[in-house]
Chains A and B, each alone.
Chain A
Amino acid sequence: GQQVMQIPQYQHVQEGEDFTTYCNSSTTLSNIQWYKQRPGGHPVFLIQLVKSGEVKKQKRLTFQFGEAKKNSSLHITATQTTDVGTYFCAGTSGTYKYIFGTGTRLKVLA
């Protein structure tokens, strides 16, 4: 069945350093979503990517969707303590069903 792998599982960075998490699907996706879950909280939608090669920015966050629509990345520039949390990608092949990656837990050291 469809699988979505996400790496790394954990990342500790010093405040001000950059951070990237990668998502790889075993099958071609129709779109991919990214969510953030703060410690003790629930996943909150960040963005959706639909087009091949699409790049979207939200302030210090840059999201990319691969040309083959099988991978995606989230890059945070100059991390802040407010970026702490777990970042999940979720991909779909066009149905209601999203397959979530295992998440990357980000810790930012002040």
Chain B
Amino acid sequence: DVKVTQSSRYLVKRTGEKVFLECVQDMDHENMFWYRQDPGLGLRLIYFSYDVKMKEKGDIPEGYSVSREKKERFSLILESASTNQTSMYLCASSRGDGQTQYFGPGTRLLVL
């Protein structure tokens, strides 16, 4: 069974703080994704990685960066958190293009 874990289920941060969200998958998947989920907007892709140290911008990368130093780990970084980044953040991984995406439990981030 594929397991995707995220470092925190809930997180409260202050405006301007640097925030790290960690995601780990245990199935040796090539692709990893970061999405944010907001009511009425569905899931929107922030960043994607198809290999170690490789990344591509998704639809809403502004205000975010990512890091993939090891195949199993994909980190999302909010350089200076803002209130409009309050959201549910979902990490996912897949074996390759067009394959099933397996999601982590999500991190609900509140920025005050």
> Is B98 a contact partner of A9 (Cβ separation < 8 A)?
no
Q: How far is the CA of A33 from the CA of B58 in the complex (A)?
A: 19
Main secondary structure on A side of the interface with B: loop
Q: How far is the CA of A88 from the CA of B43 in the complex (A)?
A: 9
> Is B58 a contact partner of A30 (Cβ separation < 8 A)?
no
Residues of the B chain whose Cβ atoms lie less than 8 Å from the Cβ of A98: 45, 101
Interface size class of A (residues with CB under 8 A): 20 to 34
Main secondary structure on B side of the interface with A: strand
> Does any Cβ of A come within 8 Å of B50's Cβ?
yes
> Is B103 a contact partner of A101 (Cβ separation < 8 A)?
no
> Is A42 a contact partner of B98 (Cβ separation < 8 A)?
no
> Is B100 a contact partner of A45 (Cβ separation < 8 A)?
yes
Known: A92-B97, A96-B56. 19 other contacts (CB 8 A): A1-B59, A33-B100, A33-B101, A35-B101, A42-B104, A42-B105, A42-B106, A43-B103, A44-B103, A92-B98, A96-B50, A96-B97, A97-B45, A97-B48, A97-B58, A98-B45, A100-B43, A100-B44, A102-B40
